[in-house]
Structure 1
């Protein structure tokens, strides 16, 4: 795994943990502010995951 891919992998894991913590704090229901935070985190997570994907050789 390249250094860049490892960085993306760590970042996606960190964001995933933040998403899980947000849901845990919210008790399964997000208010408007929490929903905006969730959307920001999921967008960042998706970008990090895309960075993990490498083209087959």
Structure 2
């Protein structure tokens, strides 16, 4: 299940995505309120990881 990354190591978007998929699988497609809160944290973590992994291109 989801783990909190240590301060010196952030998880990749793929790692977080695995937790999101596992959460949905365990929940059978219907999230309880506590699962919804976890899902929202995971999506935020995923978006941050994705943003940090995408190279920026100078114009």
TM-score, length-scaled by structure 1 = 0.79
Root-mean-square deviation (Å) = 1.7
Point out the structure with the larger helix share. 1
Q: Which runs of 5+ in 2 are unaligned?
A: 1-8
Instruction: Work out which structure has the larger RCO, using CA pairs closer than 8 Å and 6 or more positions apart in sequence.
Output: 1
Query: How many residues are paired up?
Result: 50
Q: Which runs of 4+ in 1 moved over 3 A?
A: none
TM-score, length-scaled by structure 2 = 0.76
Q: Which runs of 5+ in 1 are unaligned?
A: 1-6
